[in-house]
Each structure stands twice: as structure tokens, then as C-alpha cells.
Structure 1
Amino acid sequence: MHDSQISDVFRWSTESLPRSQRLDAYAETLAKSLITVTTRSPDKNSFQCEMSSADLGTLKVTTITGSTKDSFRTRRDIAQSGGRVYHLAVGVGSWKFVHKAGVADLAPGDLVLIDTRFEYSSHLPEGFSTRTITLPVDWLHTWIPDPAALIGQCISGQSVWGSVLSSYIASLAPETAVNPPLPASLMIDQVGALLAMAASEIPACAPKAITGQAEMRRRIVDCIRQRSTDLPLTAADVAASLDLSARTLHRILALGGESFGAILLDARLEVAARMLRAMQFNHLTVAEIGRRAGFLDSSHFSRTCLARYGRTPGKLRQEQGLHQK
């Protein structure tokens, strides 16, 4: 059995285990690293599975792939478990989640929020791959004050914000969690903000308007732009300077279909573009311009610049230089 800690990523596989022991070993490992469930497989002797996980600040990222299986969160499992948490799960393929609220037939990219206090079952096909983000209770409640209406509901991976959330969770592999391209606090905030926005697309979870929303939104955006080069800058920092709670800040932005992370990224790209286009910064390397604009990772700076402008930072500088000659 491969069971090791490599660069803070926990990795486990059934590969070297006797076939007769694999399913039980999987259930035992899952209970230690993620959740206690009763697992069944139609062919116990052919069962195989791989698991990896890592912490991202207060969150935990887990990826599981393997053979078809049915998992049941029973009363006995709940009684044997530790503290309550939430799980946000997404699958690469289609799968089924059964909860007291009903049956959710999940297409590839669809997500579901799970409350570990309650019984449920999940049914995954051969060759499945799932990613699960473990969310502390207090943390989730700062983003979604009453998540009960969202538990067990299909968060469509095809909806406007559901698709963004699904793509973002797909990018959060355990390997990314231990070597994040952005400050972990910012990436954690992005999970919460995108989940809140995706939840707002479900009628039962739609947030109510806030008095003075437009003016507060203007103040928030202005503050983000003014402080965009601060390293690091978090939503909590901006909220505190405006005498708001972080939850209120994110809620105001979500009501307008915006997120703190996206506004901050745009502001930093605009600062970087201005510096690249100004002759007085020609003595600075592209990487240093990116750092001064707020990008800690030069490869992330290059990717986001390419996505926004269709050109790398180096190309932007070259083209501006030719234009000015």
C-alpha cells in the first residue's frame, strides 16, 4: 500500500493491497482522512481506489478516484464521527446523491453541499473522480448564514455562477493547496464568495437586497482598487477599513454578480498594464512589475495577463515600445 506524506499532500492507494482487503482498507482510510461511511461495491475483489488530500488554510481538499461504489452515511456512522463539518463535492462524471430532501442526479461538473450531521448516500460509477472541499461550520455560516435550504440540492455546473464555482473547485487539487499561486486566504475567500453566488441562483437561497447597496458597492470597489498593490490584501482587510463585516462585503458584491477576487485581479492587471506601457518602468523586469502590481507568482501573472489581454506581459511591453519609437 502506498501511504505517504509528500510535500504535505497525503496520498493513498489500494494498488499494493491484497484484493480482499482493499474495500475495508479504503473505508478505514476514508474515515481517518475525510468522513465515516459504510461503503459497498458490486465486486469487492476488483475494487481499486486512489486518494489524495491537503489542507488549504482552514479548508481541506480531497480527490478520490476509483471503482464503482455506493456509500451510505448511516446513523451509526454519524455516532462514530467527530465534529460536524460541511462538504462541497463535485464529480468529473455523472453520479447520484440521495438525501432527505430527495434525489439529486448530478451531471459532470454539478456540485452538492453536504451536512455531515445527516444521513445520505452517494452512488458513483466505474472510473469515478470526485473532489471534495471540507468546510468548517463557522466559516460557511459567514458566507451563507442559513445553508439548510442548500443542503442536498444540485448546484448546476452549467449555471452562470455554478460553472465558475465548478471550474474553480476543479482547479483546487491537493497539489495546488500546498503550493497556491495566490495567498491561501484569498483563495479560501474565493471559495466562499463563489459558493454564495452560486447559491443565490437557487430560488430558495436567493439573498435579499441591502439598503444602500449601490453606494456601499462603490466604496468597496474604490477601496479594492486603491489598495490592490498591498501584499497580501484580503476581503477582511477591505471590510475592516470600511467598517463592514467580510460577509456583508461579499454579499454586496454577490448581489451585483461580482466577487472580491475578480475585482482585485482586474485592478492588479490594470496597474501592471500601466507600468508595462510606461517608459519610466523599463528598468524593471516583467516579474518585478508583476510583483509590484500584487502578483506573487510570475507564472500566474503571465497566465492572467494572457487571458485578459490576449498577450503575455512581455509582449505587451514589446508592442508598447514599438508604438512609442
Structure 2
Amino acid sequence: MNANRVVPCANPATQPRYSMAFAQWREVLEKVYGLNCERHPGPSCEVEIDRREIGEVCVAEVRMSAQTLAPRRKMEQTEDQLYLKLVVNGTARFEQNGEQRRFAAGSLVIVDPAAPFLEYVEEETRMVVVTCPKPALRERGYPSQFNHWLAPDVQSPDVQTVHDMVRVIASRGGGLAEQTRTLLGAQLLDLMDVLLHADSRPASRTGEAARYRVKRFIAQHIGDETLDATTIAHAAGLSISYLNRIFREEGTSPMRYLWNQRLERAYQFLTSAKADGLRIEEIAWRCGFASAAHFSRLFKQRYGATPKELREGGKAAAAAQ
């Protein structure tokens, strides 16, 4: 019995599966993944995919057989993403730049659809396919352009950890809350550094990747009034001097950046209808200010009005509309 079933990548978790003819499967591969698909001769060509959004990435569980896949030309949307493929069982053979390699169960392979390759699947094979947007990788300072597949060593404990995380997300993603999926997607993108550098050097801690990690840590701990440069540098695995250099390149310092982020977060609270029930003292505390007086003084210096004046002015403007 052939099971040609596909779940499109909509908001994702609990959609029913749909039967789909092979022609429709080819259309999905073309539009979603930017791939051509040619069916091998013979009576059986199994297809099944269950695809869901996990934050910024999409994770698909795929069952397929008797097919050859190759990137289409000039597919701008799909060329701006990478595919991480984990072979669960069966095998997939890749051919690129005159080299061939067979990936068996347990293997990981990363391919860039912007570069020509062929993927052959003969026997029934199950994979987990993670679609990673290149802009999110570039934002983190990671490489995002490859002319040849990457094959991270799954014997490495670091790589094995990412391997296991992908399996867990694929098996449980459908029942997770949206916030959990968003957090898992961001963590998986952060950990792509382990896979993208597995063949060359340890995960990058410099340049744009370090800058991204520092700012992400600050954003996640902005309410901690004890946060200082030493804590930030330690969390990012950097020296104090290197941390200072990162922000000096932007014309600021770690602590000035932190205080500006706190003030911006407070401004968002004060202008959000969802935060109307929060007292100004509560907002100050949530944004890492030790006292409401200190918060009010710095806020007025930045925005020309106290938090109370800004909130009351916003309410008056809304009432006048």
C-alpha cells in the first residue's frame, strides 16, 4: 500500500494528514524546498511527510523511496535556506562536485540548495529534515553558503547532542506550545554553529557570532539588576577586554548598551496596552532598575518625560481619538 501523505507547513501542530498523488508531492518539493524530484522506474514510490514550524525553522519527518532529488535553478526563496538532514533509517546517496557518498541511519548531512547536488533514495528511507533560514544563521555570525555538503561527525559528543535534540524535536514538536516551539527553534539555530564548524574548528566565539551571543544573553537577563560586564563576558566565554572591544566598535560600552536596552524595554511596557495593569514600580523591577526613582530619572533623560507622564499622555491621546 502506497501512503502518499503530506502536511503542509502551516501552523502546524495538529493538522490531519492528507493523501497526495505523486504529482502533488513533486509540487510540494518544488514550491517549499526548491527541489526537482524524479521517480525511479518500478511500481512502488512511497511518500510521506509531516512538517511543522518550530520557531524560525521547519522540521519535517519524511518517508520516501525510489526517487532522485536535485535543486531547481533560480529559486531565490529556497536558496536562502540550508537543509539539515538526519537519516533515521534506510540510506541516502549524495553526489556533488564529482564526489559521491552514502549516508546510512544515524548520519547527519547539511546541504545548500543554492549549489547543485543530486540526492538518490532507493530503498524506503526515513529522515528528519530541518530547514534553517540563512538570514538567521548570518545574524548569528555563522557561515551560510556552501558549495559542498557538510557531514558532521556523529561520534563527536557535541554533534551527537545536536543529533539527539533534532530527534526529540521531531518526535514531540506537534504537541508543544507555541512559546516552547519558538524557544526550541532559536536554540537549534544557536547550536547549528556546532555542526557548521564540526569539520574545521570549535564553535566560533568571535566576531558576529560572539556579538550575537552577548546581546542575546543581555536580552534574556535584562531584569537582573546585578548584571554587569564580568557576568556577561563569562556567560559568553569572552575576556572583558574583548567584550569591551565588541561594543567599542559600535561606539558604546557593555553597560551603556545594557542601560539603553533596559530603557527601551521599559518604553515598550509603558506604551503597550497589555501592560496597562502594571504599576510603574513593577515595570522598573522587571527591567532591572533597583528603584523607581532611579528608573524615572534615567527615563526622563532619555525620553524627555517621566514614565508616569508618558503613560498618562498616551492614555489622553487614546481618549481623544
Q: Out of 117, 132, 136, which is 2:129 matched to?
A: 132
Q: CA deviation at 1:57?
A: 1.6
Distance, in Å, in 1 between the alignment partners of 2:98 and 2:218 is 34
Q: Which residue pairs with 1:69 in the alignment? A: 67
Residue type at the aligned position of 2:67: K
Structure with greater Cα Rg = 2
Q: CA deviation at 1:46?
A: 1.8
Aligned partners of 1:86 and 1:134 also within 8 Å: yes
The answer to whether 1:78 aligns with 2:73 is yes
Q: Which residue pairs with 2:36 in the alignment? A: 37
Distance, in Å, in 1 between the alignment partners of 2:176 and 2:237 is 29
SS at match of 2:82: strand
Q: Which residue pairs with 2:188 in the alignment? A: 191
Q: Can you list the C-alpha shifts for 1:272-291, whole angstroms capped at 9, x where unaligned? A: xxxxxxxxxxxxxxxxxxxx
TM-score by length of structure 1 reads 0.55
SS at match of 1:139: helix
Question: Structure 1's 242 and 48: CA in aligned 2 closer, same or farther, altered over 3 A?
Answer: farther
Q: CA deviation at 1:66?
A: 2.7
Q: Can you list the C-alpha shifts for 1:185-213, whole angstroms capped at 9, x where unaligned? A: 4312321233212333312x5456659xx
The answer to whether 1:95 aligns with 2:92 is yes
Residue type at the aligned position of 2:93: K
Distance, in Å, in 2 between the alignment partners of 1:148 and 1:190 is 21
Distance, in Å, in 1 between the alignment partners of 2:151 and 2:27 is 28
Question: Structure 1's 144 and 163: CA in aligned 2 closer, same or farther, altered over 3 A?
Answer: farther
Q: CA deviation at 1:184?
A: 2.9
Q: Which runs of 5+ in 2 are unaligned?
A: 239-321
Q: Which residue pairs with 1:8 in the alignment? A: 12
Q: Which residue pairs with 1:142 in the alignment? A: 139
Aligned partners of 1:98 and 1:120 also within 8 Å: yes
The answer to whether 1:160 aligns with 2:157 is yes
Q: What is the RMSD of the two structures over their aligned residues, measured on CA atoms?
A: 3.9
Q: CA deviation at 1:35?
A: 3.1
Q: Which runs of 5+ in 1 are unaligned?
A: 224-233, 253-325
* Alignment of structure 1 residues 109-128 onto 2, 5 Å: 109-128=106-125
Of all paired residues, the percent bearing the same amino acid is 13
Distance, in Å, in 1 between the alignment partners of 2:7 and 2:98 is 38
SS at match of 1:46: coil
Q: Which residue pairs with 2:51 in the alignment? A: 53
Q: Can you list the C-alpha shifts for 1:88-117, whole angstroms capped at 9, x where unaligned? A: 111113322222383333232221222221
SS at match of 2:84: strand
The answer to whether 1:106 aligns with 2:88 is no
Q: CA deviation at 1:175?
A: 5.3
